[in-house]
Each structure stands twice: as structure tokens, then as C-alpha cells.
Amino acid sequence: MSDIYDLVVIGAGSGGVRASRMAAATGAKVAVIEDLFLGGTCVNVGCVPKKLFVYASQFKAHAEESAGFGVNLANQGFDWATLKANKDKEISRLNGIYDNILKGPGVEVIRAHGEIIAADKVKAGDRILETRRILIATGGWPFKPDIPGAQLGMDSNDVFAMETFPQRVVVIGGGYIAVEFAGIFAGLGADTQLLYRGEQILRGFDNEIRTFVTQEIAKTGIQLRTMTDVVEIREEDGGKLCILNDGTEVRCDAVVFATGRSPKISGLGLESVGVELRKDQTIITDERFETSVSGVFALGDVIGTPALTPVALEQGMVFVDQQFGSDQRVMDYELIPTAVFCQPNIGTVGLTEEEAVERHPSDIDVYTSEFRALKHTLSGSSERTLMKLIVRRSDDRVVGAHMVGEEAGEIIQGIAVAMQAGATKSHFDRTLGIHPTGAEEFVTMRSVTRSL
């Protein structure tokens, strides 16, 4: 076998692992370089452990709601050490699985820092790897604003390593990561404030959904303060003192920055080989994931496409097909389903109402249904559910579907399949509902809420 690799991947996150193992399965000689952990952000300090924490945060509410059903599930306390230990055990198990799925098809795993020194050479520790293709899949890293005392706050990665659980928490940010962590802390019993410098949280989501979920989040006990930012953090009596932009102060035990993520490109040698970047430091690529340097490719969060694990996984598959397969595929970013695991959950796929009106002016019908779920008629909770379909009137095509409510992500996944298949509103109308479920509302909305 030649000493020249067919593919060297820098980064063993979701996209890098998928690309490397699928390329190796075609018979290509592949190495993947990783200096941190296998599985990347999602497995280690992202969606997997975060979802486990979300589950934990819901049990207190479940116990409180059980009384209405005649069940006594008194909450007798919460032990952070147990949750953290069990989470760590599961992440360790997943790391082992990732190691096996790489080595199974013959991928060489190199635990070192990767640096591109030429279009066909990568330095990995004390080794120089010669390769026909280089793939950058290093993902992103949490960003902290440059304010006095920022080092006293945690980022989203740090939350998963906390040794003790704080009783008073300030979460800074308004994106889905901030909203999810605020829900976790509040659900586990912490006095939680969510501070956002903008007018409304969850920028980029459908405005009606944003407004509705803001109201529902407030019911969970989170104190949401918009147009508010922290300008300085100080140590005070074993805790933290946050100085806000309006001059007021907030005392807490922990500050969590969820203020965005930046491409993890430091030390990769991109400038020395001429890889072009955007102003936000994301790597510029074409539809074949090739950078400005021939033979050097990039995918995943580092190229500025939607920062979602399934996107990186699909990019890895498309890349392998282009380079080692039939070369018939390009990435389609039109119908990407996603969820926000706040309480209640958000699920969404397709266009927001605002995007739909911009693309198809005077051709949009909006259908909505807001209700109190059957469960909460006995639970005592005032939580409400919102479902929304956005339809292009001229051809009856469903171009957007959105939901706020329990298990929204699970429900929207099926809706996404229908929309990929070209479902029209008539298809939804002809589909029988499953009764009694919340999901049946998606196939029983008959009256147009508004035409735009």
C-alpha cells in the first residue's frame, strides 16, 4: 500500500468521523487527527450530555404534576454528583464506540494536533503525513465577550464539568444554547436569570414562535431580561457580582456565557497555505467543500453552515460521494428540521412566516392552533402548545411547520419527511389523526388564520 494517504481529516467530530469512516469503507487510505476528544462537541460537551441534563431537569415538574393524577411522587431532592457521574460514564462509553467505528473500517486515529503545512502535507505531532486530500472538520468553540472579569464565568463546555451545582445562576445569551441551559438550571432548582442584549430571544426563529415560547418559559420560573447585558463580573463573598449595562447589579453563584461559538481554527496553518476566510473566521468553500486551496476541503460548523450535528453528518456523506463515489450529490440546506430543548420544546422545519412572505409575497396562508394539552387538564400546569403550518397558496405546498409543546422535536421529525416528499396542505387534511394526541392538530387545522 502507498505511504500517501487518500484523505487526512483534522477533527474527529460528527462530520470528520462520518467522512473518514465512510471514505475508508470505499477502500481509501484515511487518517483522522484529533487532539481533544472523539465525537466532537455533540457527544462530549453538546447535544448528547445537554439532552441528558434536559431529561433530569424535567423530573421535578413531573413530580409536581403527578398529584393531579392521584400519584404521590414527592420530590425528595436532587444530587448533582450522581447526574454528573452517570453522564460522564455514558460519554466515556460513546467515546469508545467512536473509536471502534473509526478503527473498524481501517481509519488510522492519530491523537495529536493537526497543522496544514502544504496543500498535500499535514503535521501531526512529530509526524508529517502526505496526502491527496485534506479535510478540515474542527468545528466551533464557545465564545466569551471581552469584558472585565469574563474569566470568572463559565462557557457551555464548562457546565458539563461543574463539581457542584449552583443555587443562583445568570445565563448570558439569547440563542438556543442559552435558552436550553436556562431551562436546565431552573428545572433542577436553581434561581435562574436569562439576560439577553437584544429585544427578543431566539433570533432567526419564527417570530410568533419566539413570542409564544417566551411567555411559556416565564411560567417555568426563569427570570428573562431582554435589552440587558453584563459589562463586568467581580468576585464577591464566594460568589459572583454581575454589573449590568443599566448600572444595576446581580449576585449569583455562577455565570454562564452562551454568547455564540467561533470556528476552531487556531494553529491549523490556514494563513500559511492561503485558505481564505470570511470576516467571522469561517472557512470559505464551494459546493464540493473545497477551499481556496486545491485539495484542501472543509465541512461542518467551521464553514458557517447551520451548526447542527445532522448537517455535518450529511455533509460528510456528500463529501465522500463526491470524492470517492458517484459524484452526483450536493448539499441541500432548504428543509433542515431542528429542535430547541427548552420547556416546552420547539420543533421547526422549513420557512418561518417572515421568510415565506419575503420569498412568496401575497401567496401565503398561515394556519395555527393553540391549546392546552390533555395532560395538563389534570396536571394543573398552565403550559400551552402552539402549532403552525405555513402554506404557499398557489400550489398548496407546505413550506414551513413549527411547534412549541411537549416532544415537539419528535413530532416535527415526521413532518419533515412529509415536506421532503412535497406534501401539500391537502395531504395533511386527508391524513387521519391519532386521537387523542397533540400531533393530530397538524392534520385537523382547517381554517386559515391569516393570508399574507
- Considering the candidates 360, 402, 427, 435, report the single residue annotated as catalytic: 435
Please state whether 221 falls in left (phi above 0), alpha (psi between -120 and 50) or beta. left
In terms of C-beta distances under 8 Å and separation of at least 24 residues, what long-range contacts does 294-299 make, across chains too? 294/119, 295/119, 295/120, 295/132, 295/133, 295/134, 296/116, 296/119, 296/133, 296/134, 296/136, 297/133, 297/134, 297/135, 297/136, 298/135, 298/136, 298/137, 299/15, 299/19, 299/135, 299/136, 299/137
Which residue bears the cell 467551521? 302
For residue 271, the surrounding DSSP H or E stretch is helix 270-273
11 and 98 Cβ atoms separated by less than 8 Å: no
**Which residues lie below 8 Å from residue 48, measured CB to CB, with a gap of 6+?**
42, 90, 91, 94
User: Following DSSP, what letter does each residue of 139-172 receive, concatenated?
Assistant: -EEE-----TTGGGSEEHHHHTT-SS--SEEEEE
Beta strands 140-142 and 239-244 are: unpaired
Q: Is 435 a catalytic residue?
A: yes
Task: Give me 233's grid cell.
Answer: 463580573
Neighbour-count burial for 24-44, b at 16+ CB within 10 Å, e otherwise: beeebbbbbbbbbbbbbbbbb
State the DSSP code for 315.
Answer: H
CA pair distance 40, 96, nearest whole angstrom: 13
Active site members: 435
